[in-house]
Amino acid sequence: MKAKDRRLAELKRSIPEVLPEEALALQKQGALLLDVREADEVAGGSPKDALRMGRGFLELRIEEAVPELDRPLLVMCAGGVRSLFAAETLKQLGYQNVKSVAGGFNRWKNNGLPFDMPRVLDADARERYARHLLLPEVGEAGQLKLMASRVLLIGAGGLGSPSALYLAAAGVGTLGLVDHDVVDRSNLQRQILHTEARIDAPKVASAREALESLNPRVKIVGYETRLDSSNVEEIFSNYDVVVDGSDNLPTRYLINDACVKLGIPNIHAAVYRFEGQITVFWPGYEKRRGGCYRCMFPEPPPPESAPSCAEIGVLGVLPGVLGILQAVETIKVLLGLGDPLVGKMLYYDALQGAFNQFKLARNAECRVCGDNASFNGYDDYAQVCNSSSS
């Protein structure tokens, strides 16, 4: 008898086994069914409500997932052998009531017992997003969530460039890009999606090329158009989050009003010379903790007092800092991580090297997000200047 067979015979004596039907009945009484097969096996189906934890991660993760050492555990693999070894490991970790499912998932499935087809990451995604998978706060479930998420970026310019690059790299499934402009040589000082070779190309096309070569798994949807009241809802309603990288007031108000009306979080940032600011407008979040852009500035200034259209200088790397912060807040919102910048404004002074955070109060009288607000249509404020993204 080989050593392996001797060991197996020992395990069969020491680990109680149950048939799949008994396992299902015990599961209904509160026992935990633990599927220890690898991800590619689980992709072909796994019992309903089973905890899926590959054999290789068992020692590392089981204590966090199942802190109660007296909870009955039913260990399952494909055929009932690996589950015996896994059960032995669990006993050594202190679990007192561990059984192995004889015949494993193959018998479970053949006997017609219920199972799900869980969505799991393929090998390419596991490799690409390995550093996310190592974070328990993201993990496989979080990565799958990102891959199913849809984020709309307004402007493929100074703010949109770093946001889009990092969101694509992070594996956000669908990135929409709205920009009606073409690439200009003077953009390249900060708009890092674009290149010298793509000057005069539409920014949307140039951005698509950059993002698809970074991560071909991300679907890029381009809108080579100017956002206005006639198209804003049609475009926005396809997305979970909107990232405002616009640099003009009419667009900013339009984005604000549409996001409030549709209940979409609006990741807002603005830059000026050596300074920038970022906040998340999401009036629906946590019992209306935060307000909207109109809570701060109820109406745009009249065109005659608006700043002139002469170009304002900006340190090229500054929108990089703020655009990356927008990508961070976007991922936090998508995954429900931490505390988003709702009701808070983060202000960055590059010359002082200082970040400051201010509270932003919601205005109960706000005509868009206030207590008695009702939607009265969009305002198409006159475009004073021609650019659409910083």
Q: What does the binding site for Zn ion look like in residue numbers (CB under 5 A)?
A: 291-292, 294-295, 366, 368-369
Q: How far apart are CA 192 and CA 160, in angstroms?
A: 9
CA 5, 10, 14 angle in degrees (round to 5)?
145
Residues 253, 301 contacting (CB under 8 angstroms): no
List the beta bridge partners of residue 259: none
Residue closer to Zn ion, measured from CB, 266 or 390: 266
Query: In 157-248, which residue ranges form alpha helices assigned H by DSSP?
Result: 160-170, 203-214, 232-236
Q: Which is nearer to Zn ion, 80 or 300 (CB)?
A: 300
CA distance 186 to 90: 62
Q: How many CB atoms lie within 10 A of CB 155?
A: 30
Please say which residue, 167 or 342, places its beta carbon nearer to Zn ion. Answer: 342
Enumerate the β-bridge partners of residue 34.
Answer: 51, 75
Least distance from C-beta 312 to Zn ion, angstroms?
Answer: 26
What's the full length of the chain, in residues?
390
**Minimum CB distance to Zn ion smaller for 124 or for 371:** 371
Residue type, 328: V
CB 306 → Zn ion: shortest distance, Å? 21
Residue 174 CB neighbour total at 10 angstroms: 17
The two three-digit tokens of residue 196, written as one number = 């010298």
Please give the Cα distance from 200 to 214 (Å, whole number): 22
Nearest to residue 336, comparing CAs of 269, 261, 286? 286
CB 264 within 8 Å of CB 326:
no
Question: Closest approach of Cβ 340 to Zn ion, in Å?
Answer: 17
Smallest distance from Zn ion to CB 256, Å: 8
Output 308 or 372, the one with its CB closest to Zn ion: 372
Smallest distance from the beta carbon of 295 to Zn ion, in angstroms? 4
What single-letter amino acid sits at 390? S
Give the nearer residue to Zn ion in terms of CB position, either 10 or 299.
299
Tokens of 187: 């953009």
Cβ proximity to Zn ion: between 178 and 366 the closer is 366
Amino acid type, 381: Y
Nearer to Zn ion, 15 or 369 (CB): 369
Q: Minimal CA–CA distance to 168: which of 280, 330, 282?
A: 330
Q: Would you say 256 or 387 has its CB closer to Zn ion?
A: 256
Task: Name the residue with the smallest CB distance to Zn ion.
Answer: 366
**Angle between the N-to-C axes of helices 82-92 and 3-14, in degrees from 0 to 180, rounded to the nearest 10:** 60
- Distance CA(161)–CA(319), nearest Å, equals 9
Task: Look up residue 153 and give its amino acid.
Answer: L
Residue 366 C-beta: closest distance to Zn ion, Å: 3
* Spatial separation of the C-alpha atoms in residues 325 and 247, rounded to whole Å: 17
Residue 325 CB, shortest distance to Zn ion, in Å, is: 22
Nearest-approach distance from CB 278 to Zn ion, in angstroms: 17
- Supply the minimum distance, in Å, between the C-beta of residue 287 and Zn ion: 15
Q: How far is the CB of 355 from Zn ion (least distance, A)?
A: 25
Nearer residue to Zn ion within complex by CB, 291 or 323: 291
